Amino acid sequence: MDSIPDNDSPDNELPPEPVSGSVLFHPLFRIGHELLEIAAHLEDEKFDNASKELVIHRYLEATGGGEKLRATIDEYGALYQSYCYDETTCDREIDRLTTRRDRVRAARKRLVDALQSFLQQAGIKKVQGDIFTFQRYANGGQKPIRVADWVRPRDLQPELQKVSARLAGPVWDRIVRDLLQTDPDLWRELTGTPAEPAIDYNIDMQAVRARLEFGDVIPGITLDERGEHVRLK
């Protein structure tokens, strides 16, 4: 490894960027060619972890000791710090791009939502320019299910519930539910816990949909309209 140049030396400047992809030079060290090759090996997805570890072990074993070992450790530390710096830079760029993506996505949605509401209010199905055409289409698939905020799953009829037990061992939900309903004292004796904290109640949406589509009325739960969307052609 080259020594650190004096302040008066014309070489006292940042070294050129390495050839090995994303590795950045630490300003206090010149990382040798051999370690740069190892860095390129570490970043190459063709090699597995065992191969990468072996290359590093051979590099460290070849240093022997004394002054060469000290120089090697300094190079190794410089490479490590350069990776830390590079990782931080990437994280900041990811945050910046994520923020930008979310802003663009929200703006795109506002643009199409505003056009859709305008077309709906005007009773227009399609608007056409020389290049682009926007048209309203009905959403496909099943009608969405709307559940009021005040609906509690545990208050629904049992056939409209999904009951799950939070236990360490495998227990069938139906057996648990039947046991709770028929003999809660036995449940408490077997598990050592009260019934309520061990059970989760959720809405069985498939059962609810079947009932609603058949025409039954479930308080607080209704089938909503499919709605529509605007498509650019």
> What is the per-residue pLDDT across 185-221, written as a single tens digit (0 to 9) for each?
665 665 555 544 467 889 999 999 999 999 999 999 9
Label each residue of the chain as H, E or C.
Answer: CCCCCCCCCCCCCCCCCCCCCCCCCCCCCCCCHHHHHHHHHHHCCCCCHHHHHHHHHHHHHCCCCHHHHHHHHHHHHHHHHHHHHHHHHHHHHHHHHHHHHHHHHHHHHHHHHHHHHHHHHHCCCEEECCCCEEEEEECCCCCCEEECCCCCHHHCCHHHEEEEECCCCCCCHHHHHHHHHHCHHHHHHHHCCCCHHHEEEEECHHHHHHHHHHCCCECCEEECCCCEEEEEC
- By C-alpha distance, which of 55, 19, 21 is closest to 38? 55
| 187, 195 Cβ separation under 8 angstroms | yes
In this prediction, residue 26 has a pLDDT band, given cuts at 50, 70 and 90, of: very low
Going by pLDDT thresholds of 50, 70 and 90, the confidence category of residue 178 is low
Over residues 118-142, the mean pLDDT reads 93
Q: Is 60 exceeded by the pLDDT of residue 28?
A: no
Mean pLDDT over each residue of the chain, to the nearest integer: 79
What pLDDT, on a 0 to 100 scale, did the predictor assign at position 162? 87
**Tens digits of residue pLDDT in 57-99:** 888 888 777 777 888 888 888 888 888 888 999 999 999 999 9
Per-domain residue ranges for the chain? 1-124, 145-232
Predicted pLDDT at 42: 85
Q: Can you give the pLDDT at residue 39?
A: 84
User: In this structure, how many other beta carbons lie within 10 angstroms of the beta carbon of residue 165?
Assistant: 20
pLDDT interval class at 179 (50, 70, 90): low
The C-alpha atoms of residue 135 and residue 232 are separated, in whole angstroms, by 7
Output 183 or 160, whichever has higher pLDDT. Answer: 160
Sign of the alpha-carbon dihedral angle for 178, 183, 185, 190:
negative
Mean pLDDT throughout 121-144?
Answer: 92
